[in-house]
Amino acid sequence: MQLPLTVVGADGSAPARTAVEQAAREAACHGSRLRIVHTVNWVPPPGFASVLNEAGEKALREGGERVLAEAETTARSVAPEVEVSTTLAMGDPRAVLTELSREALMTVVGSSGTSGIASGLLGSVARHLVTHAESPVMVAREPSAPSAPVVVGVDGSPEAEAATAFAFAEAAACAEPLVALHAWSEWSVPLSPPDDPALRYARAPGELEAGEERLLAQLLSGWGERYPQVTVERRTVRERARQALIEASGSARLLVLGRRGKGGFAGLRLGSVSNAALHHAHCSVVVVHGRRTDSASGGQAPLFGRPAV
């Protein structure tokens, strides 16, 4: 039986080195293979002589091989037990990595690449992958704290359910604690009619918070039984979701989010909360979308499916 696959993009930049290091650790945790990918996208100017065209492409390929060799050395130094392979591909890195994500357990990229304008900006490859990749996508940053927990945003949406599944599997594989964070406000929870029609639409003090705590407990129901080895902290906070999650990322090893949450516009591929976290989180962020199937099992078994309860 072939081991699952973790894919990571490498371009020789410092963020890409961080991505390779974290991808190697992920591969070690999950017992997967690691494939390091570098792309060469050589488009000669019009009228370029064929001999110069060949020389330019050859130089890029040789540079790509050096990038891959350095990345492979980095990965083996982090996780010597992991099976590592390298791929030098022709084409746009966004298209290449998106295609490879179809067979991947996870696809890992740096927060920006060699073409990034500034370290604070999310690179074009990362932006493309989080909205188009078939696997969960990690946008890698240096961990905020050693031995920090996995934090997952929970809001009751199908995307957040998939993120919860991934987060439990991740915490179990890497032997880390899990923080399940649910943010709420008076504006995010609609009023419900009172039991007695003669009463006003008012809640007793603490009733709204207690209801949100019960909701989080319900959303996590069954996961503890499936992953009894994972220590879970349920955290309900009265705050905007994006602020709460970015703040929580300051003491996290990994922040896991659904591609879109509740209340978003149906046509958007990436929700505003996930977008804000990708730009401002203090740790690596994994974006998960919906449910995906394990291609190795013929597309029948969910890779990160909800446990039976």
Q: Which long-range contacts (CB under 8 A, 24 or more apart) does 112-116 make?
A: 112/13, 112/15, 113/9, 113/11, 113/13, 113/15, 113/16, 114/11, 114/12, 114/13, 114/16, 116/13, 116/15
Alpha carbon separation from 18 to 6, 44, 108, 209, 307 (Å, rounded): 15, 31, 10, 39, 33
pLDDT in tens, 7-58: 999 999 999 999 999 999 999 999 999 999 999 886 666 655 565 567 777 8
* Tokens 């690596």 sit on residue: 284
Q: What percent of the chain has pLDDT above 70?
A: 75
**Where does the pLDDT of residue 207 fall: very low under 50, low under 70, confident under 90, or very high at 90 and above?**
low
Report whether pLDDT(106) > 80.
yes
> Would you state the pLDDT for residue 54?
73
Which pLDDT score, from 0 to 100, does residue 194 have? 58
Mean pLDDT, rounded, for 136-141: 96
- pLDDT for position 268: 45
Q: Give 144's pLDDT tier (boundaries 50, 70, 90).
A: low
- What is the spatial order of strands in the sheet that 84-90 belongs to? 84-90, 33-40, 5-9, 106-110, 137-140, 284-288, 254-258, 150-153, 178-184, 232-238
- What is the pTM (predicted TM-score) of this model? 0.83
Q: What is the dihedral of CA 101, 293, 301, 140, to 10 degrees?
A: 50
Residue-wise pLDDT tens digits, 228-284 = 999 999 999 999 999 999 999 999 999 999 986 555 444 445 678 999 999 999 999
pLDDT of residue 52: 57
pLDDT over 50 (residue 297):
no
Tens of pLDDT, residues 66-97: 999 999 999 999 999 999 999 999 989 999 99
Q: Supply 33's token pair.
A: 């293979």
Residue-level pLDDT at 118 = 39
Is 60 exceeded by the pLDDT of residue 300? no
With the CA atoms of 89, 116, 94 and 149 taken in that order, what torsion angle do they form, in degrees rounded to the nearest 10?
A: 100
190 vs 41: which has the higher pLDDT: 41
Between residues 138 and 272, the one the model is more confident about:
138
